Structure 1
Amino acid sequence: RTAALPPLNLPADDAPHGARMEWWYYNGILDAKDGQRYAFHAAVFVADALIRHTVMHVALTDLKTGKRFASQSRTGGVPGKGGANGFDFRQDGWQVRGSGAAHAVRADFDGVSISLALSDPHQPVAHRAADSATPGLLDFGKSGISYYYSRPRIAAEGEIAVNGRPVQVTGDVWFDHQWGDFDVLTFGWNWFALHLADGSDVMLYELFDTEGRSILTAGTLSNGARGTSVPLRPGEIQLTPVNRWTSPATKTSYPIEWRIKLPTGEFNVKPFFADGEFDASSTTANVYWEGAVKVTGSSEGEGFLELSGHERLKPAR
């Protein structure tokens, strides 16, 4: 089905598309000169349902103390401007902007300020199925079709302030842009975005239905410095949950520790902190787990894990 759709076209496809669902997403681990470390994720969702609306989510975690700050907002329409080759969302003291290799993320909330300038020295990664010749398109079967590309290692620099104490930070940030006619209420996912010490980047996802049955497992191995990108077949990926955490607030059980086997090696993924739940029931009518992780095994590294749809599982997965 993907062969019948227009191919990915960048930078034009950085801009909003008016799709049923679309999001622009960032995560990263940021280092300060004083040794302080922070993990953050920020996302803009535009949904074209009964009413077109825009949602923004942001969270910041102090990786020394585990203290977490989170905020969200929702508004009708699409605030901001972006032009023909980019996006520029502005709302309630937030800005998420990007076009080509240059991006910016700013957010002010609850005594926290994030201000990052991002520049990508590498080409974007257009994800595809291993048996598809159409880069940037994924077929989710009954759940729909999605365009999907990433910039796995955008160089970031800027400032983070907590309770009025600003620190300069740098780090590598992962950017995703995804859109299409897919219905996020018909499936959930376990998603991995990993930076390995050897310079390679790993994107993996497992989709499952509301009964917990696996729909699709896929991923991409890439290396920006080498300009390589290789899609993985489902049989080349083994994802095994090894430990769970249950939210005391929502009682949702999340598989937060994993063992991963790929053609390139075996890896263990463990979160910095167990509590990564983001309660978005007031903006996107769901809850999810999102947090920074450590990678050990065939190669060391760090990254992010996202667990979505687990609150809807029957029985609990």
Structure 2
Amino acid sequence: MKDDDLARNYHRSGSRSRSSRIRKARRKGLWIFFATMVVVVAAVGAGLSLLADSESASVVAARTAAADAGRKPIERTAALAPLNLPADDAPHGSAMEWWYYNGILDAAAGQRYAFHIAVFVANGLVKHTVMHAALIDLQTGKRYASQTRTGGIPIASSASGFDFRQDGWQVAASGPAHLLRVAFEGASLALDLKDAQPPVAHRAADSATPGLLDFGSSGISYYYSRPRIAAQGEISVGGKTQAVSGAVWFDHQWGEFDVLTLGWNWFALHLADGSDLMLYQLFDMDGRKVMTAGTVSNAKGSAPLKAGEVELIPGGTWTSPKTGITYVVEWGVKTPAGLLNVKPYFPDGEFDSSRTTANIYWEGPVKVTGSSGGEGFLELSGYDRVKAKPAVRN
């Protein structure tokens, strides 16, 4: 399906201060990771500067001529190699890279569970690999969370995929087939996944370069998703093992971009009509909105949302009793198909990763009502660093 056809169909259907204990813990935790990120940021800045300084006169002339003629200017992303799957499933050695999964799983007896798993690799003078995982019992709200980090990249050799193995955890993929094995204190998760649909390559609405997003002075990112991977496996909670199944969202993002200068509100939603909605709102460290964008996709294809087609309206908040950070956990999402109301299953989705990545974020399952039903995941990052309430100031 063509972009405009899908967009038409979609039109029709359719982020204070904390206690001294927390401050001390964060200062103490992972100074090595901070050093790495400083080097990464410096490298990104130098790389972007070099990129700008090395533009040939002919390219500049071509851009000027195009602008003078009223034609679309040449994209920065066009100078980079295009997205190449399955080869790009594998690690790239870029400044920052992550592989991420979330899902809501059903057990045969009706119980439901939600999880997210992420692998982060930061490359600088020192390389670090970090793994985060959380499992939520949707019957009780009990949350199991764990994290681990190591120097280097603990990955088995793979020509076009990845196989991370660390502290008994395993996150692996080869093309559309994925495997997740994670253990917590009192719980575990083991899933085998297989995707029957092609991946979704995200892009800006006015861009001709699929799989690449330009964040301006913060850099450029490769980004693709597999929004609905069929998953089957087992969850063990409190000594009881249950067979589970469900649809899992997978994201892979990498590039020479600076994660320290931006925060984000990110949505990954499975809607009742079979479509999938990825939305992100970036904000700077003064709380000012930088951009709002996203992708709508279904079994027939995908299309980026155009400027003005989506608006995020902050709603209810939750303040962590542990860190004092206030997060916007309820949202109104205006889309061409109507207004979606997004609320968390449980307000406490805080993941304190001070000791592995020196940041704190919110991540959890959400329910969708309004113009369409559905469910999915919400991620709120940068709230621990922002100087004003994020995503509100213009």
Do Structure 1 and Structure 2 share a fold, with TM-score over 0.5? yes
CA contact (8 A) 1:53 1:77 kept: yes
What's the C-alpha RMSD, in Å, of the aligned pairs? 0.8
Q: Determine whether 1:246 maps to 2:319.
A: yes
> In 2, Cα distance between the equivalents of 1:230 and 1:264?
14
1:145 equivalent among 207, 220, 226: 220
Shift of 1:82: 4.2
Could you list the runs of 5+ residues in structure 1 that have no partner in the other structure? none
Aligned position for 2:368: 295
1:28 counterpart letter in structure 2: G
| 4+ long deviations beyond 6 Å | none
Output one character per residue of 1:280-302: Cα deviation in whole Å (capped at 9) or x when no partner: 01001100000000000111000
More helix per residue: 2
Shift of 1:81: 1.2
1:280 counterpart letter in structure 2: S
Q: Determine whether 1:114 maps to 2:168.
A: no
- Once the two structures are superposed, the pairs formed by residues 133-212 of structure 1 within 5 Å of their partners are 133-212=208-287
Aligned position for 1:315: 388
CA contact (8 A) 1:120 1:155 kept: yes
Aligned position for 1:67: 142
Other structure's SS at 2:361 match = strand
2:97 counterpart letter in structure 1: E
Shift of 1:266: 1.3
CA contact (8 A) 1:15 1:82 kept: no
- Once the two structures are superposed, the pairs formed by residues 213-292 of structure 1 within 5 Å of their partners are 213-223=288-298, 225-226=299-300, 228-292=301-365
Aligned position for 1:125: 200
- Once the two structures are superposed, the pairs formed by residues 13-162 of structure 1 within 5 Å of their partners are 13-162=88-237
Greater gyration radius: 2
Shift of 1:313: 1.1
> In 1, Cα distance between the equivalents of 2:95 and 2:223?
14
> In 2, Cα distance between the equivalents of 1:23 and 1:253?
25
Other structure's SS at 1:316 match = coil
- How many residues are aligned here? 315
Q: Flag the structure with more relative contact order, 1 or 2, with Cα contacts below 8 A and sequence separation at least 6.
A: 2
Other structure's SS at 1:3 match = helix
The TM-score normalised by the length of structure 2 is 0.79
> In 2, Cα distance between the equivalents of 1:206 and 1:219?
9
Output one character per residue of 1:27-50: Cα deviation in whole Å (capped at 9) or x when no partner: 000000111100000000000023
> In 1, Cα distance between the equivalents of 2:269 and 2:370?
13
More strand per residue: 1
Other structure's SS at 2:203 match = coil
Could you list the runs of 5+ residues in structure 2 that have no partner in the other structure? 1-75
Output one character per residue of 1:160-186: Cα deviation in whole Å (capped at 9) or x when no partner: 001221000000000000000111110
1:258 counterpart letter in structure 2: W
Identity %: 70
